[in-house]
Amino acid sequence: MVVEMRFVLERDTKMPTFAAIDIGSNSCRLAIASVQQHKLKILHEDREVTRLGESVFDTGVISPEAMANTIRALKRFQKTVQALVVDRVRVVATSAMRDARNSEAFRAWVKSSTGWTVDIISGLEEGRLIHLGVTTMEPGARGRCLLIDLGGGSCEVTLSDAGRIKQMVSLPLGAVRLQQEFLMQTDPPSKDDVARLRKFIDRELRRGERKLGQPKVSTVIATSGTAAALAEASVALAAGAGTGKVAKKSVAKKSVAKKAARRGQVLEADAASVRMIADKLLKMNNVQRAAMQGIGPRRSEVIMGGAQVFATLLERLELKGFRYSPLGLRDGVLEQMLADVDTRASAHRTMEAERWEGVLEVCKRYGIDPRKSEPECHHVEQLFDQLTNVHELPTEYRLWLRAAAMMQEVGKFMNHQGHHRHTQYIIANSEIFGFSPEQRAIVAAIARYLGKSRPDPEDRPMRFVPVEEHLHVQRAVVLLRLAQALNQDRATAAMKLRIKVFAKRVLLELLPQRGGADLEVWALKKEAPYFREVFRRELFVEVA
């Protein structure tokens, strides 16, 4: 069933066009946007309820029926993507796919049916992308605020200040999950089921509260279908209270809340109204819930648990209420896609800062002093910038190289012997803000081959890197090995470097600040044969 669709015919065909697909626990969403003056213009939006998470939260696996429903929705999305000549598509999956034991089988089905690769993102990465979308596109979200996104399987709560993430928690408090685990026995639910539900919500929110504390914010922004339903129901409740009558139920297919939000109208729900609505829903059967304005027949099946989460969260954190935003995960995915290709986009600066903070957080976790790696980071950036015509690497590899240089010794936390293998494992499997699993695999592979071994397509680390990136990784490894060779003696001041590129050779001129450069010259000359093998040029080293 199509719940929401928005289509704009006019677009500049010369601008790149992106599509973001969010495979959620309750529904699949599509958003297509073109780039115009370094900003995104939404061309088309679509949504279909598929309930992928229903069976997962009950049995631990995605049912064949839910898979088939989702595949049908994705194939329909694909027709629109093809019709609008989209340049790049990114498909992400969230809580249900994270939890399902058969998620890899479903990913393979999606790949064979559509050609799309599904990225299963963590709860924290989901929260980061939602934050990116909301703070970039939502007026008033650039100050100190709290973002709440309650989906089908999880709830992400993010404390934001000046567009930067301060704290974030991802909790297993999604609407579909709570419905399946606590509220399926009777309709309305029994007192015992409600008591168990409230106890579980209270326990998880206490865990989140330990990390968030009591955030003092003036603005609370809530996204997702549950927030839209509660906002609209709260408005209807206020209208009914003001006139002494129950507000007339809307029969529009598209949510009144979303229509109003898209027109720039502010839709708010205060904490008292949310609590009243949440408790009232628990006493109704499904037919009665569906008759409430803002709820509707599909949302009525899963809203009870989510409404209780919102009511309890607002009370525990002493928040006055929330403002609804129609933005969500798909908007953040689009903003990240824009930031990856347009350095002048506002999201690019935010994304770069978040990525580097994520790298530094990994270093801190494994006892690495970033100051000791800075000279190597500087050298690898200099090599990248001045050897552009030699290595011909994509622009994003500049950051991948800097990140690999900074994190290359994290494996020593596990064992100094063979630490490059441990480094690869840690980077590939760590939560690093802003890095997709594919990007982490690339950075991990670059950091892996700084010892005696060389990249080989049959190696396990390289199997996680897309085939089309193998040559890029090999060239990046050479640059980082050169930067490593330039930093043999960390007790002396950083080596200064001049680079000269000729048709068939590259000259590195070393300008030592204190002491000699014997170790660096020896190390660089050891890399010359591999440099020649990869770049088909001779490498010469001189001391100025």
Check which CATH number belongs to the domain holding 167 and give it.
3.30.420.150
> Does residue 130 lie in a domain region?
no
The span from the CA of 78 to the CA of 21, in Å, is 10
The 10 Å Cβ neighbour count of residue 453 is 12
Which of these, 218, 219, 227, lies nearest to 274 by C-alpha position?
227
> Does residue 129 lie in a domain region?
no
The 10 Å Cβ neighbour count of residue 363 is 18
Q: Which amino acid is at 9?
A: L
Which CATH number do you get for residue 15?
3.30.420.40
> Does residue 270 lie in a domain region?
yes
Burial 307-323 (b: 16+ CB within 10 A, else e): bbbbbbbbebbebebbb
The span from the CA of 273 to the CA of 241, in Å, is 11
Displacement of CA 278 from its chain's centroid (Å)? 30
Domain-ending residue, one of 335, 369, 402 = 335
The span from the CA of 156 to the CA of 174, in Å, is 9
pLDDT number for residue 222? 94
Claim to verify: residue 169 and residue 56 sit in the same structural domain: no
pLDDT number for residue 299? 87
Q: Provide the domain count of the chain.
A: 3
> Does residue 131 lie in a domain region?
no
pLDDT < 50 positions in the chain: 1-13, 242-254
Which of these, 439, 441, 372, lies nearest to 405 by C-alpha position?
372
Claim to verify: residue 309 and residue 438 sit in the same structural domain: no
Give the predicted TM-score (pTM) of the model: 0.79
Domain-ending residue, one of 326, 354, 384 = 326
> Does residue 304 lie in a domain region?
yes
pLDDT number for residue 517? 83
The tokens describing 528, both together, are: 């010359």
pLDDT number for residue 61? 93
Claim to verify: residue 73 and residue 150 sit in the same structural domain: no
Claim to verify: residue 217 and residue 105 sit in the same structural domain: no
Domain-ending residue, one of 308, 335, 362 = 335
Which CATH number do you get for residue 504?
1.10.3210.10
> Does residue 301 lie in a domain region?
yes
Q: How far is CA 483 from CA 107, 289, 496, in A?
A: 39, 64, 12
The span from the CA of 411 to the CA of 470, in Å, is 23
Q: What pLDDT, in 10s, does the model give residues 9-68?
A: 333 445 789 999 999 988 999 999 998 888 899 999 999 999 898 888 888 999 999 999
Claim to verify: residue 195 and residue 320 sit in the same structural domain: yes
Claim to verify: residue 165 and residue 57 sit in the same structural domain: no
Claim to verify: residue 144 and residue 286 sit in the same structural domain: yes
Cβ neighbours for 71, distance < 8 A, ≥ 6 positions apart: 109, 110, 113
Helix (DSSP H) and strand (DSSP E) numbers for the chain? 23, 15
pLDDT number for residue 491? 56
pLDDT number for residue 507? 95
pLDDT number for residue 140? 73
The 10 Å Cβ neighbour count of residue 68 is 12
Contact 292, 273 (CB under 8 A): no
pLDDT number for residue 8? 41
Claim to verify: residue 296 and residue 359 sit in the same structural domain: no
> Does residue 134 lie in a domain region?
no
3-state secondary structure 183-247: CCCCCCCCHHHHHHHHHHHHHHHHHHHHHHCCCCCCEEEEECHHHHHHHHHHHHHHHHHHHCCCC
Q: What pLDDT, in 10s, does the model give residues 73-89?
A: 999 999 999 999 999 99
> E strand or H helix at 384, and its extent?
helix 370-386
Residues paired with residue 46 on neighbouring β-strands, in sequence order: 5, 30
Claim to verify: residue 21 and residue 159 sit in the same structural domain: no
Claim to verify: residue 391 and residue 310 sit in the same structural domain: no
Q: Which residue has the tokens 């085939």?
A: 467
Claim to verify: residue 199 and residue 319 sit in the same structural domain: yes
Reduced to 3 states (helix: H, G, I; strand: E, B; else coil), residue 286 is: helix
Q: Which residue has the tokens 């908007």?
A: 331
Contact 286, 155 (CB under 8 A): no
> Does residue 126 lie in a domain region?
no
Claim to verify: residue 438 and residue 383 sit in the same structural domain: yes
pLDDT number for residue 354? 83
Domain that holds residue 318: 139-326
Cβ neighbours for 531, distance < 8 A, ≥ 6 positions apart: 478, 482, 506, 537, 539
